[in-house]
Amino acid sequence: MRSEPKLSPNGAFSAALLDAEQSIPTGIVGPDGAPDSKRFNVYRNNVIVSLVEALAHTFPAVQQLVGEEYFAALARSFVIENPPKSPVLIWYGREFGAYLDAFPPLSAYPYLGDVARLEWGWLQSFHSADACPLDPARLASVSPNLVGEVRFEIHPACRMIASIWPVLSLVQANRFGGVCSKPINLDNPEAVLVTRPDIKVQLSCLPNGAVTFFNALTNGKTFSDAAALASFDDSRFELEATLGLFLGQGVFTDLRVVAGSNEHGKAIANTGEVGCLP
Amino acid sequence: MQAQHSGTPLLRTAPPWRAGVGLKPEHIPEILETHPDVGFFEIHAENYMGAGGAPHRNLAMIRERYPLSLHGVGLSIGSEGPLDREHLGRLRTLNTKYDPELFSEHLAWSTHDQIYVNDLLPVAYNVDTLVRVCDHIDEVQETVGRKMLLENPSTYVAFEQSSMTETAFLKEVVRRTGCGLLLDVNNVYVSCINHDRQPEHYLQDFPIEAVGEVHLGGHAPDMDQAERPLLIDAHDREVDAEVWRLYEQILRKIGPIPTLVEWDNDVPAWGVLLAEAERATGLLKLAAQPDMTYAV
Ligand SMILES: [Fe+2]
């Protein structure tokens, strides 16, 4: 008979914590020197309840959509399969969206994964580094023959979540104290821009073609290349309106111009703002 | 608590006979509006490890006016493996950024094999544990560049592998590392009831001269399998009368000491928490005038 590899004291303790079926580790006792599973279960309960609570804090719309009781069971199974790897719980739950996508009992609610991804994006944006949004005047001051060559720096708090579901409507109706005034049409896809120009996270619905435009700019494409790609992808793309939205919501922090082959072929130093007024 | 900073606003020099309060996000608007007269605020370090945004902006405003205590809950000093260097680096960054008057962590572990279980788990009190806990505290104090306070835990189980008492263990940790102690009076009471010991005896053995801060908090009553009382360190209610009584005994012995009221679950309205802190402040003021009689 082969014996199990011997676990260290904390190893045995932690293995039994996340597996309620396991008997409690040997040597763990009450005041009379006898094992007492109810005492050990206090730790089991603390771990699960506190981590379920952390997930409920990060994913309130998912919780509201599936109901508190169902969420507790769902989050519990997620915690057991994906316990945190860091003590910083604002970073716990990145895989929750994918877990919901792949969770068979929820296959009739295929939008839940995107709802979770939007809530995750909201939280990461909330905690992102502070940065001043680009002053639109900076773009206006670029000489017209170089504007097409502009490349933008993306704000650290900026995210984009594109969904085949009305993910923004679902989130707005199920968190931030939202009430659902009219039924949500599940046939409406929504792409959501998450930004935090100052301290408050903003969610905006992206217009036609804006997803392509956003992806191209974040991948380092120039302003004119990104606009061309967006128009090619969706003939309804409106450059001016989309750019106005991006500037207004604080998608960019900076811009630079690297002209291609002409005589201005040097990087135009940005004007080097040192801070922004609160 | 009297660290001086250039341009220190009035409350930054609050004397230790004003109790502090654990900072909860839901209370921040009211705190920033009313500037309550509390001794200091304590934050859980892990809640401020994001890069920016509202938590840091609010904390900076609070820090402008109040002394601050940085209280880590996730470093896992009792881990069998090495400390998480990245996490320790984040603690150092927060220490540098906010320059807190107090800095503390727990005698417990919460990470094993890279899995973080979000609870303060107990250790056996023996030489093996002592050596690694002291190594970890040395590393913390070296990396962060300051003395830390180590908090006594609430425990629900004991270990057959223990060969010394918790107080003897803490005494030896202090002697070897030069760290200070955070005496959580609620944890003393909870652990003593849970292990059928007299809290007074525990406190007699406790290395009280090393105490740099005191915690007060609420616990929830339960029972173990054999129907003996089992107290849960829930931080979800007022401080228990027995804990107040022990706190008074401690104050009589050591005089006023930075004291924090913790309330982390079922967080009440700001006024309720403030009232708890004011009760502690009343006792601290009496302790500052030893001739006065005590009354709770
Ligand atoms: Fe405590």
Provide, as residue numbers in chain B, all residues whose Cβ is less than 8 Å from the Cβ of A10.
Answer: 78-80, 109, 112, 121, 123
pLDDT at B14: 54
Q: Which one-letter amino acid corresponds to residue B198?
A: Q
Structure tokens at A60: 């309130």
Homologous superfamily assigned to B20-287: Divalent-metal-dependent TIM barrel enzymes (3.20.20.150)
Those of residues 216-255 in A touching chain B at CB distance below 8 A are: none
How do strand B115-121 and strand B158-159 relate by DSSP bridges?
unpaired
- CB pair distance less than 8 Å for B117 and A127: no
Specify whether the CB–CB gap between B139 and B77 falls below 8 A.
no
ipTM of this predicted complex? Answer: 0.91
Provide, as residue numbers in chain B, all residues whose Cβ is less than 8 Å from the Cβ of A13.
Answer: 112, 121
Q: What is the pLDDT of residues A24-55, one digit of tens each?
A: 999 999 999 999 999 999 999 999 999 999 99
Nearest to A57 by CA among B69, B243, B47: B47
Checking if the pLDDT of B9 tops 80, the result is no
Nearest to A196 among B53, B75, B110 (CB): B53
pLDDT at A259: 61
Specify whether the CB–CB gap between A90 and A123 falls below 8 A.
yes
- CB pair distance less than 8 Å for B53 and A128: yes
pLDDT band at B289 (very low <50, low <70, confident <90, very high): confident
Beta bridge partners of A5: none
Q: How far is the C-alpha of A85 from the C-alpha of A95, rounded, in Å?
A: 12
Structural domain boundaries of chain B? 20-287
| Distance from the A167 Cα atom to the nearest Cα atom in chain B, whole angstroms | 24
| Distance from the B135 Cα atom to the nearest Cα atom in chain A, whole angstroms | 17
Q: What's the mean pLDDT in B180-196?
A: 98
- Answer with the residue of higher pLDDT: B10 or B22: B22
Those of residues 141-160 in B touching chain A at CB distance below 8 A are: 156-160
Provide, as residue numbers in chain B, all residues whose Cβ is less than 8 Å from the Cβ of A79.
Answer: none
Q: What percent of chain B has pLDDT over 70?
A: 92
pLDDT at B93: 98
Provide, as residue numbers in chain B, all residues whose Cβ is less than 8 Å from the Cβ of A87.
Answer: 46, 73-76, 84, 87, 110-111, 116, 118
Beta bridge partners of B151: B106, B182
Q: What is the pLDDT of residues B11-36, one digit of tens each?
A: 444 567 899 999 999 999 999 999 99
- Report every protein residue that has its C-beta within 5 angstroms of ion ligand 1: B 184, 215
Nearest to A225 by CA among A149, A165, A132: A149
Q: What's the mean pLDDT in B39-58?
A: 98
* Nearest residue in chain A measured CA to CA from B45: A88
pTM for this structure?
Answer: 0.92
- What is the CA(B36)–ligand 1 centre distance, in A? 22
Q: What's the mean pLDDT in B46-69?
A: 97
Burial of B246 (0-12, 13-18, 19+ CB in 10 A): buried
- What is the CA(B152)–ligand 1 centre distance, in A? 8
Structure tokens at A153: 């720096």
Specify whether the CB–CB gap between B148 and B141 falls below 8 A.
yes
pLDDT band at B292 (very low <50, low <70, confident <90, very high): low
Q: Is A135 helix (H, G, I), strand (E, B) or coil?
A: coil
| Distance from the B39 Cα atom to the nearest Cα atom in chain A, whole angstroms | 27
- CB pair distance less than 8 Å for B156 and A28: no
pLDDT at A183: 85
Provide, as residue numbers in chain B, all residues whose Cβ is less than 8 Å from the Cβ of A122.
Answer: none
Looking up tokens 């001016």 gives: A240
Task: Find the helix packing angle between B241-254 and B270-288, rounded to 10°.
Answer: 30
Those of residues 44-63 in A touching chain B at CB distance below 8 A are: 46-47, 50-51, 54
Structure tokens at B256: 């006023």
Specify whether the CB–CB gap between B97 and B144 falls below 8 A.
no
Question: How high does pLDDT run on average in chain B?
Answer: 93
pLDDT tens digits in sequence order for chain A, 278 residues long: 455 567 899 999 999 999 989 999 999 999 999 999 999 999 999 999 999 999 999 999 999 999 999 999 999 999 999 999 999 999 999 999 999 999 999 999 999 999 999 999 999 999 999 999 999 999 999 999 999 999 999 999 999 999 999 999 999 999 987 766 778 999 999 999 999 999 999 999 999 999 999 999 999 999 999 999 999 999 999 999 999 999 999 999 999 998 653 434 344 444 444 445 44
Q: How many angstroms separate the Cα of B277 from the Cα of each of A24, A53, B37, B100, B216?
A: 39, 27, 10, 20, 9
Q: What is the pLDDT of residues B70-117, one digit of tens each?
A: 999 999 999 999 999 999 999 999 999 999 999 999 999 999 999 999
- The residue ranges of DSSP E strands in B122-188, in sequence order, are 149-151, 158-159, 180-184
Q: What is the pLDDT of residues B199-253, one digit of tens each?
A: 999 999 999 999 999 999 999 999 999 999 999 999 999 999 999 999 999 999 9
pLDDT at B17: 82
